[in-house]
Structure 1
Amino acid sequence: MDEGRSPPRDAYALVLDAIDAGLYRPGDRLVESELAERFGVSRTPIREALQRLETQGLLARDGRSLMVASLDHTELSDLYVVRGELEGLAARLAARHATPEEVQVLREMLEADRAIAGDPQALARANRRFHMQIHLASHNRFLMRQLDLVHRSMALLASTSLAAEGRAVGALDEHAAIVGAIEAGDGDAAEAALRQHISRAFMTRLKLDADRAG
């Protein structure tokens, strides 16, 4: 075995990460040859990755072309309903199972995130890390798999609700309430706080969409 050879790159993860990072946005067409050249892999794994992403609903077909899917109003609502249920359960389980070290990590994340409240894109990335830490603290791998699918679908949203005026500070205050309930071991309060957090994020997004439509 050639120990100097780098491991093969996962085409699926590369394309998914590019969508999540906003390199490809809803409505953008994905072309096999262009993706293969960008990521330095052959077209076969790219083709398989695109087929997998289409099956998961992250890509949509327009004739013979594939593009990053867009969510209509009903799909957006459905996504937030499922996210609220699953995230709430994760917070409840985290209140029961989180170690002191995991709670401390959440507290440190919260403090660090306050320093970037004025940068919506950076805060959006930090927000994903914060929620992922709660998922990990639930100590339920089956729930984490479902939440991973939900958060992949969140990549189909063209913008972050954290860009709305005042939303960043409000979201961080909501994060503080979630962490406080988890630290206190209060599953009911943790679930309620996280569900309310998701509900407020959804309302903010609806307002943003309405403003753009107007």
Structure 2
Amino acid sequence: MSHDRAATVQRGNYASAGDFAYAALRREIMEGRLTRGQRLREQELSSMLQVSRTPIREALSRLQAEGLLETLPRTGLAVADLDDAAVVELYETRVALEGTAANLAAHYANPRDISLLRALLVDEEAAPNDAPTLQLLNRAFHDALYAAAHNRFLLKSVAALHDAVTLLGPTTLADPARREQARAEHRRIVDAIERRDPVVAEAESRAHVRNAFPLRKAMRGR
């Protein structure tokens, strides 16, 4: 992690050095610059973020409590990885939650929600073939889908899910064929929501998640 990258999270925006360190390290994990299995050393992180080891230790403890870090034998603290069973469970959960979100959105999405989803489809079409950009746009689309469901309990359920998805590694949208397939799937989901067709919206959303799973397994080398 470079000083320039760390600087994108501004120290002055946080009440304490611990909060700053937590936000900076969490962003590095979320954006894939700290990768699964990578060891984290307090002294190195302290030097990179230019804070003492005490706030670094506090930040690492918080990230570990969230499941983003784990303690490995003979290695120490590292960015968490997911085993095969956990990946299967994660995708099963995504299928269920995203299907539910699309179903509810078809019932409750308002014109503003649908306009945002449509705008994101346009952004996806115009986006460069740059994996980080595509990942951010994809996250924005799915966040908008969940928001369009207008269900506070569903929104609470997806926070940990998003963190776990990040631990899977590079986005499947880096694959050109999957990228085009996903864009078409997104369009069909939004079309069904706009038609107020919850059955089709849910089916398309579930299929969207399932279709990414074989590529994810291949990318992990399983």
TM-score, length basis structure 1: 0.88
Determine the structure 2 residue equivalent to 1:81: 92
Identity of counterpart residues, as a percentage? 41
Mapped pair 1:118 → 2:129:
yes
Superimposed CA distance per residue, residues 101-128 of structure 1 (whole angstroms, 9 cap, x where no aligned partner)? 1101100110111112633332111101
Mapped pair 1:129 → 2:145:
no
The answer to whether the 8 A contact 1:117-1:169 is kept is: no
SS of aligned partner of 2:70 = strand
Q: Given residue 136 of structure 1, which amino acid in structure 2 is its aligned partner?
A: A
1:124-203 equivalences under 5 Å are 124-203=135-214
Superimposed CA distance per residue, residues 50-109 of structure 1 (whole angstroms, 9 cap, x where no aligned partner)? 222223322110247210011121111111111111111111111111110110110011
Determine the structure 2 residue equivalent to 1:67: 78
SS of aligned partner of 2:78 = strand
Q: What CA distance in whole angstroms lies between the structure 1 residues aligned with 2:77 and 2:13?
A: 30
Could you tell me which runs of 5 or more consecutive residues in structure 2 were left unpaired when the two chains were aligned.
Answer: 1-11
Q: Aligned match of 2:44 in 34, 39, 46? A: 34
TM-score, length basis structure 2: 0.85
The answer to whether the 8 A contact 1:124-1:160 is kept is: yes
Q: Given residue 17 of structure 1, which amino acid in structure 2 is its aligned partner?
A: R
Q: What CA distance in whole angstroms lies between the structure 1 residues aligned with 2:63 and 2:70?
A: 9
RMSD of aligned alpha carbons: 1.9
Mean Cα deviation higher: 8-17 or 187-196: 8-17
Between the two proteins, the alignment pairs up a number of residues equal to 207
Q: What CA distance in whole angstroms lies between the structure 1 residues aligned with 2:51 and 2:158?
A: 29
SS of aligned partner of 2:173 = helix
Superimposed CA distance per residue, residues 11-37 of structure 1 (whole angstroms, 9 cap, x where no aligned partner)? 333222110111200111112233333
Determine the structure 1 residue equivalent to 2:6: none
The answer to whether the 8 A contact 1:164-1:208 is kept is: no
Could you tell me which runs of 5 or more consecutive residues in structure 1 were left unpaired when the two chains were aligned.
Answer: none
Q: Which runs of 4+ in 1 moved over 6 A?
A: none
Mean Cα deviation higher: 109-118 or 191-200: 109-118
